[in-house]
Amino acid sequence: MSFTTSRALRTALIACTTLVPAPLLAANAADADPVAIVHGSPPREVATGASISGETLRREGASSSDTAQVLSALPGVSVSTGGGFSAMPMVRGLTEQRLYILVDGQSIDMACPNDMNSPLSYTNPQTLGSVSVVPGVAPVSMGGDNIGGVISVESAPPRFADNEGVLVTGSASGYYRSNGNTFGTSLALTLATRNLSATYTGSYIQSENYDAGGSRGAVRSSEYAKTDHALALALKTEAGLWELKGGYHFSPYEGFPNQWMDMVDNRSWFAQGRYRGEFDWGDVDLSAGWRDTDHEMNFLADKLPGSMPMNTEVHSFDAAAKFDFAAGEHNRLRTGIEYHHQWIDDYWPPVEGSMMMGPNAFVNVNAGHRNRLAAYGEWESHVSDTLSATLGLRFERVEMNTGEVAPYGTSMMQMADVMAASAFNAIDRARNDDNWNGSALVTWTPSDVLTLELGYAHKTRSPNIYERYSWGRGSMASRMIGWYGDGNGYVGNPDLKPEEADTVSAVVALTPVEGLHLRLSPYYTRVDDYIDALFVQNLSDMMGMDSGFVQLRFANIDAEFYGLDASAEAVLQGTRENGTTLSAALAWVHASNRTEDLPIYRQMPLNLRAGLAHRAGALELGANLEWVDAKTRVDPRRNEQRTAAYALVGLSAAYTLAGWRLAIEAENLFDKAYDLPLGGMSLGDYGVTGELAPVSGRGRSVNLSLSTKF
């Protein structure tokens, strides 16, 4: 008996290969990792979604420590700048907070008022098995509590020996990047018999501040370091596959160039178990997971002198039971229940000798919790050899509450927070949401040349704890809230409604001749009660002068997003595996605040990626171009700044000999100086220069990597 991941996941996430630029295509084509456990009927190939393999992630990981940055190579996926390994992904204009992100089937909760430890920050591209992205029409069986789509990260499946001996296998890598003096290592090691498998994965990465292009110099508060360790056990029996995994994540520091604070300690422990079995009546998938996170913020050397500790503790628990039934020869019925519990304490210890930050602790969130119970049903039908459909419905109950809060003290300079705490404590803070979700996906493949797909989804997301329960009204307290990288202050709103989004998308995939693939995917999303923010007041500095920053309060508005993802690939000579391939990918999104007739904040302008990849046996050569248009549609309420258009060129080469792969890459070959469209405000530099400017992009870097598999 053999087992695999959920058939629903595979069905939704099979990528049209033209989604991926040429360097990623070349790496995918060369993947040779054996699949340890595969079974079940062949999945219905649909055009929605994209997937990047573990081999590609390992190769791309030499140039980025951030899984989200690797995903930005996919059309429609962009990243908002965070720390060096914790950028926040966006899918078709919808931010990370509106996505459902799973790591080995478990969701990871926000554990910071600035969202510094985003879910993908707990992963390392060097040690993953695959990452899949499905936009807003994702089937309901993949998850709820989102309006923007699903990102699913999976470790490599367990491997077992094919005889009575002991299998010893794994991979190792090391890399160095000249810009930032960055270095890192990773190791994966598996020991297995025919029925028992044990796999260790570990990685370490460290970097100094990176240098911007041209003569701009170092980007302050961009240094980071982290390590990850995990041990996975798997037992294969006649009853099914049993898995147990645990791990530890530690980051001693991570600078954030667009936040007032930096991360000075982040520790997270997790344990999870899973059972998968196949029976005559269908398949079963049972899982449960637990995670504890301790997070601390303060100032690193590049930020203001002094100290302002901010601590967050989070406990999370996940459980799910999923079933997949055969309903005749051509139909599948999926159903399941899920439960997620989040508990959070967020408090800021007093600073000795400070009249503003003392004499007591500032209680930002007191034993806040967010519990979500969900149930779904989904029907997949293969109507004919050319026509298939997936229909699903999901219901979720979200319950939230938090305890009483407190300011630092009761002096006159703290009066705004004193009054805000009193008002917050006086209200009933319990909030319950009943959320409905539905999705429908129809795929028609009349020939090998053409695939057409049409999807519709109604998705609902409840506010997170910080959106509902951040309460501080003082200038400093409110500026500690927010993941927007704009330096502004944010105040929560307990009366926020859940976001409800209706999305329509289509895919046209063409293969007019052998070796040529074209793909177009237009989409439209309308969001009722989109959670944005409304102006409260201008914020002043210590001298009472206008600071250039504002205070806003989370509020519901109506919004819309529409755009186009397009890609093309042409094999110019030979094959993908051994030849020359040219590819291009384009993404465009237009996002509007319909309530106030304003642009939505932090949206990626029109962008294009093109790549040329050549493989000849052990030799790999590549060239790539990234062009980003000027960002002119900005949110005036947040004082969002415009950015100019830019183009970046990169070159790469690699050679494999005796199982060892040596690679060299030049990023931003011409050391172009440019501003990141989604970088936010450069607050790390602002504290030194006094000038407000966008965060600068990375300058030229020469990257070296050495890896092997055994």
Domain boundaries, the chain: 7-709
Q: How far apart are CA 680 and CA 506, in angstroms?
A: 32
Sheet strands (E) in 383-449: 387-401, 431-444
C-beta atoms surrounding 329 within 10 Å: 7
The one-character DSSP state at 33 is P
Residue 39: closest CA among 324, 382, 333:
324
Distance spanning both ends of the chain, measured CA to CA: 26
Spatial distance between the Cα atoms of 643 and 652, rounded to a whole number of angstroms: 28
Q: In sequence order, what are the beta bridge partners of 292?
A: 269, 315
pTM of the model: 0.93
List, as own/partner pairs, every contact residues 568-572 make where C-beta atoms lie below 8 angstroms and the sequence separation is at least 24, other chains included.
568/18, 568/516, 568/517, 568/518, 568/519, 569/17, 569/18, 569/22, 569/25, 569/516, 569/517, 570/515, 570/516, 570/517, 571/515, 571/516
Do 411 and 368 contact (CB within 8 A), yes or no?
no
**Cα 389 to Cα 455: distance, rounded to the nearest angstrom:** 10
For 369, residues 6+ apart whose C-beta sits below 8 A from its C-beta are 341, 342, 343, 344, 399, 400, 401, 402
Rounded CA separation 433/396 (Å): 8
CB 613 within 8 A of CB 619: no
**Can you tell me the distance from the alpha carbon of 630 to that of 644, in angstroms, rounded to the nearest whole number?**
4
Q: Token digits for 60?
A: 């791309």
Q: Which candidate, 210, 315, 219, places its Cα nearest to that of 258?
A: 219
What is the number of helices (H) and of strands (E) in the chain? 8, 31
Q: Report the pLDDT value the prediction gives residue 569, as an integer from 0 to 100.
A: 97
The CA-atom distances, in angstroms, between 631 and each of 185, 265, 499, 626, 635 are 37, 34, 26, 15, 11
Q: What is the distance between the alpha carbons of residues 534 and 258, in angstroms, rounded to a whole number?
A: 21
Residue 61 pLDDT: 72
Q: What is the pLDDT of residue 689?
A: 85
- Which one, of 12, 254, 52, 249, lies nearest residue 141 by Cα? 12
Question: Among all chains, which residue has been given the structure tokens 């007041």?
Answer: 537
In degrees rounded to 5, what are phi and psi of residue 70? -65, -40
Angle of CA points 64, 70, 75, to nearest 5°: 150
Looking only at the bridges linking them, the beta strands covering 150-154 and 167-177 are unpaired
| Structure-block tokens of residue 139 | 């089937």
* Predicted pLDDT of residue 637: 94
Please give the Cα distance from 206 to 289 (Å, whole number): 29
Under 8 Å between Cβ of 277 and 240? yes
**How far out from the chain centre does Cα 502 lie?**
22
CA 49/CA 139 separation, integer angstroms = 11
Instruction: Let me know how long the chain is.
Output: 710
Identify the segments of the chain with pLDDT beneath 50.
Answer: 1-23, 25-46
Q: Kindly report the CA angle at 424 between 422 and 425, in degrees rounded to 5?
A: 65
Residue 104's pLDDT is: 96
Whole-angstrom Cα distance, residue 140 to residue 146? Answer: 10
Question: Taking a C-beta distance cutoff of 8 angstroms, is the pair 542, 176 a contact?
Answer: no
pLDDT confidence of residue 454: 97
What is the model's pLDDT at position 32? Answer: 37
In the chain, the amino acid numbered 394 is R
Q: Is the CB of residue 308 less than 8 Å from the CB of residue 260?
A: no
166 contacts: CB under 8 Å, gap ≥ 6: 191, 192, 193
Transcribe 304-334 into DSSP letters. Answer: -SS---EEEEEEEEEEEEEEEEE-SSSEEEE
**Architecture of the domain delimited by 7-709:** Beta Barrel (2.40)
Q: Amino acid identity of 171? A: S
